[in-house]
Amino acid sequence: MIVTAPNRAAEILRKIESRQARIGIIGMGYVGLPLALLFAEARFRVTGFDIDCVKVDSLNRGSSYIVRIPATEIQLARESGFCATADYAQIAAMDVVIICVPTPLNDYHEPDLSFVTGTVSSIAPHVHEGQLIILESTTYPGTTEEVVVPLLEKGSQTGLRVARDAATAGFYVAFSPEREDPGNDTVARRDIPKVVGGCGPVARDLACAVYQTIFNRTVPVSSPAAAEMTKLLENIYRCVNIALVNELKQLCMRMEIDLFEVIDAAKTKPFGFQAFYPGPGLGGHCIPIDPFYLSWKAKEFDFNTRFIELAGQINTGMPYFVVENIIEAMSQQGKALRGSRILILGLAYKRDIDDLRESPSLTIIELLQKRGAQVEYNDPFFPTVGHGRKYALNMASTPLEKIPEFDCVVIVTDHSQYDYPGIVAKARLVVDTRNATRDIQAANIVKC
More confident residue, 4 or 183: 183
User: Following DSSP, what letter does each residue of 402-415 receive, concatenated?
Assistant: GGGG-SEEEE-S--
Instruction: Grade residue 282 by pLDDT with cuts at 50, 70 and 90.
Output: confident
What pLDDT does residue 4 have? 45
Q: pLDDT by residue (tens digit) across 170-215?
A: 999 999 999 988 777 888 899 999 999 999 999 999 999 999 999 9
What pLDDT does residue 388 have? 65
Residue 3 pLDDT exceeds 50 = no
* Eight-class DSSP state of 184: -
Average pLDDT over residues 366-387: 94
Catalytic residue numbers, as ranges: 286
Q: pLDDT by residue (tens digit) across 141-163?
A: 999 999 999 999 999 988 999 99
What pLDDT does residue 302 have? 95
What pLDDT does residue 288 have? 76
Contact 375, 402 (CB under 8 A): no
Share of the chain above pLDDT 90, in %: 85
Residue 390 pLDDT exceeds 80 = no
Reported pTM = 0.91
Beta-carbon contacts of 269 under 8 Å, excluding residues fewer than 6 positions away, are none
Instruction: Single out the residue of 281, 405, 407 nearest to residue 334, CA to CA.
Output: 407
What pLDDT does residue 2 have? 38
Q: pLDDT by residue (tens digit) across 37-49?
A: 999 999 999 999 9
Residue 226 DSSP SS3: helix
- Residue 40 CA to residue 121 CA, distance in Å, equals 27
What mean pLDDT value characterizes the chain? 94
Domains, in order of start, for the chain: 5-222 (3.40.50.720), 232-314 (1.10.1040.10), 317-447 (3.40.50.720)
Residue 441 pLDDT exceeds 80 = yes
